[in-house]
Amino acid sequence: MPKGYVIARAVVTNATQWATYAAAAGEAIRKHGGKPLARGGRTEIAEGEGRARNVVIEFESFEAAKAYAFSADYAAARKLREGAGTIDIVVVEGA
């Protein structure tokens, strides 16, 4: 069965508030069996529009990744992020 991934690209405008969100999101990731493969760190734009903060989280399946992304646990974390930046999040099935 292919793995599932949650991929996020963000622009952070309030680092302190974002850190609170990231801690709560990290708890939700662990609770749902996710494994962060990339979470922040250095970036270099190779092509197109880039974002300074990029996150890739691996799950056992597409369904498990969706369960995390649409969970009450993550929704609670997401509320902590309001007004601290912008983010695009997609759930992707692996090859």
Q: What is the pLDDT of residues 15-47, one digit of tens each?
A: 999 999 999 999 999 999 999 999 988 999 999
Give the whole-angstrom CA distance, residue 65 versus residue 7: 10
pTM: 0.92
Residue 40's pLDDT is what?
83
CATH architecture of the domain with residue range 4-93: 2-Layer Sandwich (3.30)
Nearest to 77 by CA among 16, 30, 27: 27
Q: Where are the beta strands (DSSP E) in the chain?
A: 4-12, 35-39, 53-59, 85-93
Handedness of CA 87, 46, 55, 17 (dihedral sign): negative
Q: Residue 88 CA to chain centroid, in angstroms?
A: 9
Nearest to 87 by CA among 57, 53, 42: 53
